[in-house]
Structure 1
């Protein structure tokens, strides 16, 4: 099967894991990355579009018939201001969603956040909820939303909270059971794996994958 994928956010925690999975999957023969800077990866089926995201709408990338994966995301601390955060976590993903709709992409798969809610008093959660709501309004052929809890993995930048949680997650695992399972930290590779499996099911409609569901899917697939 000759599947095509486009990944926005390939240098991030989930994005890197997703690219690795796509490159190792024989069903995907053409993979395009939309990035600010080169990943440095050289592979026969990999193409990079190094762009200025301020000019995202004018990016020459073909999304027709592709599985579009969006793993873009930042923090308010890293972005510097709420406005800059919203640009990365709302405007850019929504723009890619609109491009996917206009060009006839097969499906759109995106990482948001556990608890995403457009009515939340928490700015971060509210922006994620607003993004989900706006993407739903596009009426894409298939929209898969992934809402992970705290992400664990090897980030380029240091995040104290994630480093602490990663070191104690094994000790605390009995606590995150039953109703609390959805709050358990999740490995980035588990999210990437769940996204890939969802894409290969080729289901139309809107699907929301909560954090505990992401973990369950990965456990069943041996990740």
Structure 2
């Protein structure tokens, strides 16, 4: 049976890993990326659709209908430059994608948010993440999978000294995140991508929240079903 994947956010840390893994899997016959700038890669099963994300609502129905929709959009306050721009990327675009999934009947929507996300958070970042989770749930999609990683490990093109220090420290101290602290354990971008594919292929419930420690165990399951 034909299975299609659509990725929005393919140029990011997790999205880039997702593209590679999906193209190496026999489970998907076609992988479509919606990007503002074309990727410097080609593959017989890869389709690239260039689109300004402000026009995301004009995505054709045939692209969404029956597909697994992967949303790995995300930025930082530093990159965004303002709260308005941050909300545009981390709330407005994912919500528009969610409405498309509802309108055109996507098979599943999978999205990466963050640990600690809550509409009641005193931190703007976590509050926005919490709002997008809450409002996507309200759409009552056929299947919504929300991945809430702790610190994401992986190669970044741009990192400050402080960010590099925190990431390296987390890598060395990851063995401390056990028991009640396991949900705070850092995860790799590749691990998140593996978990997303694993859950897309095996999860049949309408709403599933996957915490950081569950992302790690879910990623391991992909090895058993990987083609």
The TM tier, using the shorter chain, reads: over 0.9
| Structure 2 segments unaligned to the other structure (5+ residues) | none
Counterpart in 2 of 1:21?
A: 21
**TM-score normalised by the chain length of structure 1:** 0.95
| Structure 1 segments unaligned to the other structure (5+ residues) | none
Once residues 161 and 217 of structure 1 are traced to their aligned partners in structure 2, the CA distance between those partners, rounded to angstroms, is 30
Aligned residues of 1:10 and 1:35 also touching (Cα < 8 A): yes
RMSD between aligned alpha carbons?
1.6
Once residues 155 and 127 of structure 1 are traced to their aligned partners in structure 2, the CA distance between those partners, rounded to angstroms, is 23
Once residues 4 and 171 of structure 2 are traced to their aligned partners in structure 1, the CA distance between those partners, rounded to angstroms, is 37
Structure 1 residue ranges (4+ consecutive) displaced by more than 6 angstroms after TM superposition: none
Question: In the TM superposition, what is the alpha-carbon distance from 1:159 to its structure 2 partner?
Answer: 4.0
Question: In the TM superposition, what is the alpha-carbon distance from 1:55 to its structure 2 partner?
Answer: 1.4
- Report which stretch shifted further, 110-119 or 165-174: 165-174
Counterpart check, 1:4 vs 2:21? no
Counterpart in 2 of 1:41?
A: 41
Map 1:1-223 → 2, pairs under 5 A: 1-60=1-60, 62-219=63-220, 221=222
Aligned residues of 1:70 and 1:110 also touching (Cα < 8 A): yes
Once residues 9 and 155 of structure 1 are traced to their aligned partners in structure 2, the CA distance between those partners, rounded to angstroms, is 15
Question: In the TM superposition, what is the alpha-carbon distance from 1:161 to its structure 2 partner?
Answer: 4.1
Corresponding pairs, count? 223
Once residues 144 and 4 of structure 1 are traced to their aligned partners in structure 2, the CA distance between those partners, rounded to angstroms, is 17
Distance change (3 Å), C-alpha of 1:160 and 1:207: farther
Once residues 178 and 71 of structure 1 are traced to their aligned partners in structure 2, the CA distance between those partners, rounded to angstroms, is 28
Once residues 204 and 105 of structure 1 are traced to their aligned partners in structure 2, the CA distance between those partners, rounded to angstroms, is 14
SS of the aligned residue for 1:207 comes to strand
Aligned residues of 1:143 and 1:206 also touching (Cα < 8 A): yes
Distance change (3 Å), C-alpha of 1:162 and 1:194: farther
Question: In the TM superposition, what is the alpha-carbon distance from 1:166 to its structure 2 partner?
Answer: 3.4
- Report which stretch shifted further, 166-175 or 110-119: 166-175
SS of the aligned residue for 1:214 comes to helix
Distance change (3 Å), C-alpha of 1:22 and 1:80: same
Question: In the TM superposition, what is the alpha-carbon distance from 1:183 to its structure 2 partner?
Answer: 1.3
Aligned residues of 1:151 and 1:162 also touching (Cα < 8 A): no
SS of the aligned residue for 2:32 comes to strand
Deviations 1:130-158 (A, max 9, x none): 00011001110000000000111012222
Once residues 64 and 80 of structure 1 are traced to their aligned partners in structure 2, the CA distance between those partners, rounded to angstroms, is 35
